[in-house]
Amino acid sequence: MIMKFIEGVGEKTLNALFSIYEALKFSFICIVHMLQPQSYNPAMRMVLTKQIYFTAVTVIPTFIMMAVIFGSVIIGVVIALATEYSLQDQIGSIIITFVINEFAPFFTALLISLRSGTAINTEIAVMNVNRELNTLKEYDINIIDYLFLPRIISGIISVVSLSILFALIMLGSGYIFTLFYMNMDFHTYKYLLVSAIEVKDIVVLLLKSIAFGFVTMLIPIYSGLKTAKAYTAIPISVLNGMVKLFIAIFFIEVLSLVLQLI
Amino acid sequence: MLENIALIREVQESLSTSKAQELALQYLKRVRLEKIALLRVSSCSKIEIFYTLLIRALMTKKATIIIVTPFTLMPNLRAINVIIEDIQLLTQDKKIIILDNTTNQTHYKGCSCNITK
C-alpha cells in the first residue's frame, strides 16, 4: 500500500519533470530558430503580418474599452485608498509601480491568453489531428519557422505594444481620479509621474511583457502539438494548455515580484 | 488555394510572395482553374482540390510525382485521359506515376500512358 503510493508519487514526479524538460527543450529550439535569419522567409513574414493583425490590431477596440472600464475603476480605487491612508505624496510612485510594473502587462497577458492562446491551441491541435503538420513536413516546410515562430513573435509584439497602450490609458484615467479626489491639475500630475518613473520601471514592463508574450503563444502551441490523434482530444488539449498557461503567467508574475524585492 | 500552392516556392526558394503567387496563378490558368485562386478548401470541388494538390507537388524540386488512386480522390471522374491531358499542360519535365488498383483498370482504357501491371 505505502509502496504503491510512493511509486505513484515517484511516477508522477518523473512525468512532470520530463514534461518540463520537454517544454524547455521546445522553448530553446524555438529561441534558436528565432535567432536564425534564414527562418524569416517570405511565407513566414506573411504569416507573421497576419498574426500581428489578428492578435494585436483586431483586438484594439475591445481592448481600449476594457482598459478604460477596468483600468479606470482599479486606478480609482488605488488613488482613493492612497488618499484615505494619507499617501498623497507617494501617489506618483504608487501609480507608476501599480500600473507599469504590475497591472498593465498582467492584464494584457490574461486578455491575449484568453483570446489568442485558446485559438492557437485549438488551431495547432486541429492541424495535428488532421495530419496537416505531417503534410507540411513532407513538403520540407519547417513547421517551427512557418507555424510557430510567427505566432510566438506576434505574441511578444502584441503583449508589449498592448501593455504600453494599457498603461497609457490607465495613466490617463489616473489623472481624472487625481483631479476628482485631490483637485490636482494636469501639470502637477505629469510632474509626479515623471519624477516617479525610473528606467527600471520601463525595463520591468518590457521584460515582463516579452516573457508573457512568449509563454502566451508557446504553451498553447506546445499543448496543441502534444494532442493525441483524435478529435475528442482537442478540448482536453485546450483545457490542459490553458491551465499550464495560467500557471506560467502567475509564475512569471510572482517571479518578477520576488526579483524586484531582492 | 493560391497561398497554398505559392507556399512551397516561398519556403524552399525564398521566392517573394507576389512572385510565388503569380507563378501559382499561371499554373491554375493552364488547367482553367484561376477562379479557385482566392477560394478556401471548403469552397472547392474534389477535382479542384486534386489539381491544387498536383500543382503544389509540381512546385517542389522532386523529379517524380506519385498519384495514388485518383478515382478515390475524385469519385465523379470517369476516364483518366482528362487528367493526363491536363498533366501534360502543366508539366513536361517531371515523371508522373499513377498507382491504382486493377479494379479501376476500365478507367484507363485508351490511355496514352505506359501501363504496368
Which pLDDT tens digits describe chain A residue by residue (262 residues)?
888 899 999 999 999 899 889 989 999 999 999 999 988 988 889 899 999 999 999 999 988 888 888 877 888 888 788 878 888 778 888 888 888 888 899 999 999 999 999 999 999 999 999 998 998 898 888 999 999 999 999 999 999 999 999 999 888 887 887 787 777 788 888 888 888 888 988 999 999 999 999 999 999 999 999 998 889 999 999 999 999 999 999 999 999 888 888 7
- The secondary structure of A2-32 as a DSSP string is HHHHHHHHHHHHHHHHHHHHHHHHHHHHHHH
What SS3 state is found at B67? Answer: strand
**B11 shares contact with chain A (CB less than 8 Å):** yes
Domain of residue A189, residue span: 38-261
My answer on whether A148 and A247 are in the same domain is: yes
Quote the pTM value. 0.84
- Taking the CA atoms of A192, A107, A169 and A88 in sequence, report the sign of the dihedral they define: negative
My answer on whether A88 and A20 are in the same domain is: no
Q: Which helix (H) or strand (E) holds B66?
A: strand B64-68
My answer on whether A45 and A65 are in the same domain is: yes
CA distance B5 to B9: 8
Q: Which range, A152-161, B16-25, B87-96, is most confident? A: A152-161
Class of the CATH domain delimited by B2-108: alpha beta
The ipTM estimated for the assembled molecules is: 0.76
**B15 shares contact with chain A (CB less than 8 Å):** yes
My answer on whether A82 and A202 are in the same domain is: yes
- Give the closest-approach CA distance of B106 to chain A in angstroms: 31
My answer on whether A128 and A183 are in the same domain is: yes
Structural domains counted in chain A: 2
Angle value at C-alpha A214, between A211 and A215, nearest 5 degrees:
90
Please state the domain extents for chain B: 2-108
My answer on whether A9 and A113 are in the same domain is: no
Angle value at C-alpha A216, between A212 and A220, nearest 5 degrees:
155
My answer on whether A83 and A138 are in the same domain is: yes
**B56 shares contact with chain A (CB less than 8 Å):** yes
- Give the closest-approach CA distance of A141 to chain B in angstroms: 7
**A43 shares contact with chain B (CB less than 8 Å):** yes
**Per-position b or e across B65-74, b if 16+ CB within 10 A of its CB:** bebeebbeeb
Best A36, A39, A41 residue to mutate vs chain B (most B CBs within 10 Å)? A41
Say if the Cβ atoms of B17 and A139 lie within 8 Å. no
Closest CA to A99 of A197, A212, A192: A197
Closest CA to A109 of A205, A197, A174: A205
My answer on whether A90 and A1 are in the same domain is: no
What SS3 state is found at B109? Answer: coil
Q: Which of A46, A141, A146 is facing B17, going by the closest CB pair? A: A46
My answer on whether A188 and A175 are in the same domain is: yes
My answer on whether A1 and A105 are in the same domain is: no
